[in-house]
Amino acid sequence: MTTLFADAKEEEEQAKYVILGVPYDGTTSFRPGTRYGPRAIREYSCNFESYMPHHHVDLISVPFFDRGDLEPECSPERVVAQVEQEIEGIIQRMKVPILLGGEHSITIGAVRAARPDVYIVCDAHLDLREEYRGSLCNHACTTARVLEDGVEDAIVIGARSGTEEQYRRAHEMTIFDADDVATRGIGTILEEIMGMVEGRKIYLSIDADVVDCCLTPGVGTPEPFGITPRDLRAIVRTLGPLSSAFDYVEVCPVDAGQTAAVAAEMIREFIAAHWVRACAEPPGRRVSSDTDKQR
């Protein structure tokens, strides 16, 4: 039996948040194993207290549900379509989807379902390859596909790797690279981002390799000189409550559990921060819950 995410005790119909695992790593180029990511994240979620002192909230009182794992097909194009369909169903029922990867390609389907104005991604990589190893839905093409799908803006935080060709396309996005975060501080950068995204519909995607691989080495494509887990927590706390959908991908649990532990905490942070904000604001003002907006 698969362990479900800790404290996900609500019935699906009553839940405000729905967790879905996508154990897919079919286009992995370096280290395989992100298919075991959802399992590891759920396992480590059981290590933490349900009370979140920063948010003054106990997760037991937050209505969230874990519907387990999607059974992915083999081809990345098919998996992207599967994810799109699943996430569309969750959003139609006025719930906030939380996706556990799996590799980053699954985000393409989720963004197609969520139709955000702004795509915010934390990633060591630009993921701007036009195609890779014969597929348009390779994990190295995620941001390229999202841009084509018509988001108004894409913002990348923590980037530090890409081909020369990808960096030539970088003007299509706003990049706060890992060195910017180190020198300017995440607080300053988040203030700038908040000014850019105000009132718009946001999708937040976290590729676990955004964090320095010397701190969390359990990822498919490790890169040093990244941001810290504390930077990432600031991002999730600030931008999470404004997001209509969230994913955490590329956890490859080959380490001592650091990467899955950080991932599980970030998902808990997302749920707690989003819930506190949702409770504080009247529904009419919740841009992030707007599901019937057309592109």
Question: Where along the sequence are the contacts to Mn ion (CB under 5 A)?
Answer: 104, 123-125, 127, 207, 209
| Shorter beta-carbon distance to Mn ion: residue 117 or 209 | 209
| Shorter beta-carbon distance to Mn ion: residue 69 or 247 | 247
Give the Cβ contact number of residue 253 at 10 Å. 22
User: Min. distance of Cβ 213 from Mn ion in angstroms?
Assistant: 10
User: Min. distance of Cβ 199 from Mn ion in angstroms?
Assistant: 27
| Shorter beta-carbon distance to Mn ion: residue 10 or 207 | 207
Residue whose token pair is 């706390």 = 237
Distances (CA, A) of 39 to 45, 83, 107, 208, 218: 10, 18, 18, 15, 13
User: Min. distance of Cβ 247 from Mn ion in angstroms?
Assistant: 11
Among candidates 129, 112, 119, 175, which has minimal Cα distance to 27?
129
Phi-psi region of 149 (alpha: psi -120 to 50; beta: other; left: phi over 0): alpha
| Shorter beta-carbon distance to Mn ion: residue 25 or 123 | 123
Q: What kind and span of H or E run contains 84?
A: helix 76-92
User: Min. distance of Cβ 103 from Mn ion in angstroms?
Assistant: 8
Among candidates 273, 249, 245, 269, which has minimal Cα distance to 260?
249
User: Min. distance of Cβ 124 from Mn ion in angstroms?
Assistant: 5
User: Min. distance of Cβ 55 from Mn ion in angstroms?
Assistant: 28
| Shorter beta-carbon distance to Mn ion: residue 69 or 123 | 123
Contacts of 181 (CB under 8 A, 6+ apart): 157, 158, 189, 227, 231
Give the Cβ contact number of residue 132 at 10 Å. 17
Contact in structure between 265 and 225 (CB atoms under 8 Å): no
| Shorter beta-carbon distance to Mn ion: residue 54 or 133 | 133
Going by the DSSP 8-state scheme, the letter that residue 251 receives in this structure is B
